[in-house]
Amino acid sequence: MTTSFRLLLATLLLSVTLRADACNIPVFRYALERWQADNLELLVVHASDLTEDQTRQVQELQAQSILSGGTANCRVQVIDLRQPLPEEHADQIRQLGPCETPQVRLLTRLSRGQQVVLWSDALAKLPTESLFTSPARLELTQRLQKGQASVWLLIASKDAGRTQAVEELLTSQLEKLSNEIPFPDGIGQPGSELYSSVPLTLKMSLLKIQRDAAGEGAFLQLLAAARPQVFMTDEPVLIPVFGRGRALEIMPTTKLDAGTIADLAYFLAGACSCQVKEQNPGFDLLLSTDWEAALFQGDEGPPDSGLQRSRKQSPATEPELVPIPKGNTRQTSENHAPSSTPALQTVVTTEPTALATASPLSPSSNGTDFPRWPLLFVGIVVIVALAGARRP
């Protein structure tokens, strides 16, 4: 790569950094209102005609899908090996072998598009009902739909003492952080509107799941398949969840401390700096719930950016830009808002006429506490250094 080309890339990088649109909505709330849940792929593969019972089971699976009027973020595809294989899943299907009996394979994409097999077994062994929902997932979605910023799933280990220690640490830290983390400045301004009447709060809660909990076997198997190396240990497992059931990560608690918890919490509560969902950390859990009805209750939500349509047609394969649209700045908050942000405790109704813009040299112009002048300085240093490299 030539020096001039590197100089051009550095200049483009700097210009993109400085021209980024301002967004003062917390990450968790932006995800809740604007990020549609990714559809997982459930492949039903067979090499001969399905029996009546098998056909009935497949129809039950399809009825659960959001594509067929259900509420589960899952696309069910029935694939006959006697027909040409769909190119997008040809490799996965070949791995199943001859399929003397109908087989199923559940696929998802983790961060950066990494495809992972969450379930692979005979159709007859698939738990049709508990695959999409369970008591813990029902509680999880209810908390998020009531306005909690995040729900931290704690998968208990066999070591009751270790689990209790982690539980006590998380409980105390989440309560502390729920009361001390400030909202970003500028929520409700043009470009940072809220559309749902769900209370805007910074409440974070803990939801513990025992590994032998009734009704959770399928859910725990899906989680373990996503990060098998984490579940191989006898440590409790931590999964912060936000938005519409997006798991930030599945992590061991071996070295969990107050600082790590705070870092994760501040990220979720900070101003959303990247509108591209797939370029943010995390992956969506398999859930069954009507997010639109729960969040907007028939009211107008964010303008359709085409993201929901694409989610219903196919799984995410390429990053998609979700614009911050104009709209009403209605926002409602319970008493969880810090006293330093009294505006969040009121209802504001205005009609913005333009999106918010920010001057790169003004630390507070983008509505956040993060100044952009350090980025400008670093960019200038890079450009000067690259330009100097051209000298003999």
pLDDT, tens digit, for every residue of 141-157?
999 999 999 999 999 99
Say how many domains are in the chain.
3
334-361 average pLDDT score: 29
The domain boundary residue, chosen from 86, 101, 125: 125
* Residues 181-200 pLDDT 10s: 999 888 888 878 898 999 99
Instruction: Give the model's pLDDT for residue 304.
Output: 56
- CATH classification of the domain holding 314: 3.40.30.10
Same domain (yes/no): 170, 261: yes
Instruction: Give the model's pLDDT for residue 329.
Output: 34
The domain boundary residue, chosen from 125, 160, 185: 125
Instruction: Give the model's pLDDT for residue 274.
Output: 60
Q: Which residues contact 118 (CB under 8 A, 6 or more apart)?
A: 40, 106, 107, 108, 221, 222, 225, 226, 286
Residue 250 lies in a domain: yes
- What's the whole-number average pLDDT of the chain? 77
Q: 34 pLDDT exceeds 60?
A: yes
Residue 105 lies in a domain: yes
Same domain (yes/no): 323, 371: no
Same domain (yes/no): 170, 118: no
Residue 379 lies in a domain: yes
Same domain (yes/no): 89, 227: no
**Domain of 302, in residue numbers:** 27-36+134-345
Same domain (yes/no): 272, 143: yes
Residue 244 lies in a domain: yes
Paired strand residues for 115: 109
Residue 351 lies in a domain: no
* Residues 101-126 pLDDT 10s: 999 999 998 876 688 999 999 999 99
Residue 87, SS3? helix
Residue 238 lies in a domain: yes
Same domain (yes/no): 109, 15: no
Element housing 153 (H / E): strand 150-155
378 DSSP 8-state letter: H
Which of these ranges, 18-22, 45-49, 357-361, has the smallest mean pLDDT? 357-361
End-to-end CA distance of the chain: 18
- CATH classification of the domain holding 86: 3.40.30
Q: What percent of the chain has pLDDT over 70?
A: 69
Instruction: Give the model's pLDDT for residue 277.
Output: 72
Same domain (yes/no): 274, 205: yes
**Top-confidence residue, 2 or 78:** 78
Element housing 194 (H / E): none
**Top-confidence residue, 222 or 113:** 222
Same domain (yes/no): 90, 182: no
Same domain (yes/no): 62, 193: no
Q: 382 pLDDT exceeds 60?
A: no
How far apart, in whole angstroms, are the C-alpha atoms of residue 113 and residue 283? 9
Same domain (yes/no): 334, 377: no
How far apart, in whole angstroms, are the C-alpha atoms of residue 147 and residue 95? 42
Residue 350 lies in a domain: no
150-172 average pLDDT score: 97
pLDDT band at 289 (very low <50, low <70, confident <90, very high): very high
Instruction: Give the model's pLDDT for residue 264.
Output: 96
Residue 318 lies in a domain: yes
* Residues 15-32 pLDDT 10s: 334 334 457 899 999 999
259-277 average pLDDT score: 85
64-77 average pLDDT score: 96
204-212 average pLDDT score: 97
Same domain (yes/no): 208, 76: no
H-assigned helices in the chain? 3-19, 27-34, 52-64, 90-94, 135-145, 160-180, 217-226, 228-231, 258-269, 291-296, 307-313, 373-388
Same domain (yes/no): 31, 167: yes
